[in-house]
A and B are shown apart, each in its own frame.
Chain A
Amino acid sequence: MATETEIIDLQKIRSDFPILSREVNGKPLVYFDNGASSQKPKQVIDVISHYYEYEHSNIHRGIHTLSQEATNAYEDARKTLQHFINAKHDHEIIFTAGTTGSINLVASSFSKKYLKEGDEIIISTMEHHSNIVPWQMICEEKGAILKVVPINDEGEFLMEEFKDLLSEKTKLVAVTHVSNTLGTINPVKEIIEKSHANGALVLIDGAQSVPHTKVDVQELDCDFYVFSGHKMCGPTGVGILYGKEDILNELPPYQGGGDMIKTVTFEKTTYNSLPHKLEAGTPNIAGGIGLAAAAKYMNEIGIDKIEAYEHELLTYATQQIKQIDGVRIIGEAENKASVLSFLVDGTHPSDIGMIVDKLGVAIRTGHHCTEPLMNRFNIPGTARASFAFYNTIEEIDIFITALKRAIKMLL
């Protein structure tokens, strides 16, 4: 195994994240809850502070200098995010409140225009609630049907079963790129090809993939790609909906308000062009600018390097945890991102989580907003350690020691 320093400059990176030097319960913080939200580097925090201290004003239509500057900063952020996922046009990047906001936008606008009774939408068993519930809601409203692709015991998407579900009734396929609970990396390119061959559009939930792997929406050829800022070192409350230009142009507006209109009279309103048509009201300006700073920060380290290093962390953690008696890993797909979900015989995940927290280690326990997936495995929940590029092999050792101590106390 290559050492950490060969891939990334860990010491420099860790010094960028102020929170990593704090203590929790009298112990140095070991933060392994990155799947829920990542920490923020100074480079992002400073950009947000600077924006509020020197640049803030409402954007678009302002005549004064500050408004011009803030507008430029926000629209530059859009361009940065366009390049980050290699979208063809900057107006294909829609700022939203996050992955959930993006999915709800598509679900609402798409169904208004395209969905009718008897149509079908396909999702997979491993979806996060935010990629289940919005589709359920519109299916109920329109009398459409939600179909679910099963997975195998390793937690892998079953392609043959998916192909069988596809039909001329399928209007949209919404699948996660990386499972937040299992870590499974789905074969999204193949899913997209098969769906398109069948005439269905595809939305990819990239909340867990964008922070860890290079995403190229043109290469994938997906119709929608959605992700959150806060899981990729950016601020909370901001995220992205990418959509192909021609498709977004066809979507009716999601919310009405300022900024999304061309002209308003009491008789008739005409709508603005992309991206503004889908961005009603004053947006999260600082959030958008902060998210662009996060994308730049990750690019400077190199997403390929991040991916390679995190893979090492996952491999090491998996090897170590497997040596503990009674540990069962949930999610053993061949292609996995840095998520390690597990159970320990005779213990409850929440007990494990509480005790390792007392030892300074932050992990997540519960159903991870994937209740149907938990039902598939017939378990109430898991304990989950999820790693980011600022984590270390030494931290994994601390976690393993804490876990062993927890098991000893509980059994």
Chain B
Amino acid sequence: MKIKEAQNEIIEEFALFDEWMDKYEHIIELGKDLPIIDDKNKVAENLIKGCQSRVWLHAELVNKKIIYSADSDAIITKGIIALVIRVFSNNTPKDIAQSELFFIDQIGLQEHLSPSRSNGLLSMVKQIKMYSIAFQVKA
């Protein structure tokens, strides 16, 4: 399954980093490279408000696959978002709904999904799943 493979690839990619600093530098680069969400989609209804940073998530169905785009005002959050989008985007609603998210734990970033971070990431992951369930009806 594509989603599982994409996660395994990320785990391999991160296995190269021994130091937390290298890992974070890589995430920061990914954050800087993430294509910025289209301004027309960076609107209040796409905003997932965290206590620490803001996250915008947009989803649309193209050829029966969901294309996600997202943004955040915090660069580390944005870098992790880039990875999450790489995993889920361009898959069918059914595949996304049935998938499990395991790579964040495996690459040692589970703290970013903890409620104390309140960075919107946890809510974003939930929202990604919500879209997949909603689009399953449409697809």
Question: Does chain A bind chain B?
Answer: yes
Query: B-contacting residues of A (Cβ < 8 Å)?
Result: 25, 347-351, 353-355, 358, 365-367, 380-381, 409-410
**Contact bitstring B65-81, A, C-beta under 8 A = 1, else 0:** 00000000111110000
A410 and B53 contact, Cβ closer than 8 Å, known pairs A350-B74, A380-B73: no
Is B52 an interface residue, CB under 8 A from the partner? yes
Is B137 an interface residue, CB under 8 A from the partner? no
A351 touches B20 (CB 8 A): no
B75 touches A348 (CB 8 A): yes
A366 and B28 contact, Cβ closer than 8 Å, known pairs A25-B20, A350-B119, A351-B74: no
Q: Could you say which residues of chain A place their CB within 8 Å of the CB of B21? A: 358, 409
A355 and B52 contact, Cβ closer than 8 Å, known pairs A347-B75, A350-B74, A350-B77: no
User: In chain B, what residue has the closest Cβ to A25?
Assistant: B20
Beyond A351-B75, A366-B118, 9 extra complex contacts between A and B, CB < 8 Å: A347-B75, A348-B75, A351-B28, A351-B76, A355-B76, A358-B24, A365-B52, A410-B28, A410-B75
Question: How far is A353 from B116 in the complex, measured between Cα atoms in Å?
Answer: 13
How many residues does chain B have at the interface if contact means C-beta atoms less than 8 Å apart? 16
Q: Could you say which residues of chain B place their CB within 8 Å of the CB of A354? A: 24, 76
Query: A-contacting residues of B (Cβ < 8 Å)?
Result: 20-21, 24-25, 28, 51-54, 73-77, 118-119
Q: Could you say which residues of chain B place their CB within 8 Å of the CB of A365? A: 52
B28 touches A409 (CB 8 A): yes
B25 touches A350 (CB 8 A): no
A367 and B75 contact, Cβ closer than 8 Å, known pairs A350-B119, A409-B21: no
CB distance from A236 to the nearest CB of B (A): 16
Q: Could you say which residues of chain A place their CB within 8 Å of the CB of B74? A: 348, 350-351
Q: Which of A25, A348, A358, A366 contacts B73, CB < 8 Å?
A: A348
Q: Could you say which residues of chain A place their CB within 8 Å of the CB of B28? A: 351, 409-410
CB distance from A48 to the nearest CB of B (A): 25
A350 and B52 contact, Cβ closer than 8 Å, known pairs A380-B73, A410-B28: yes
B24 touches A348 (CB 8 A): no
A348 touches B20 (CB 8 A): no
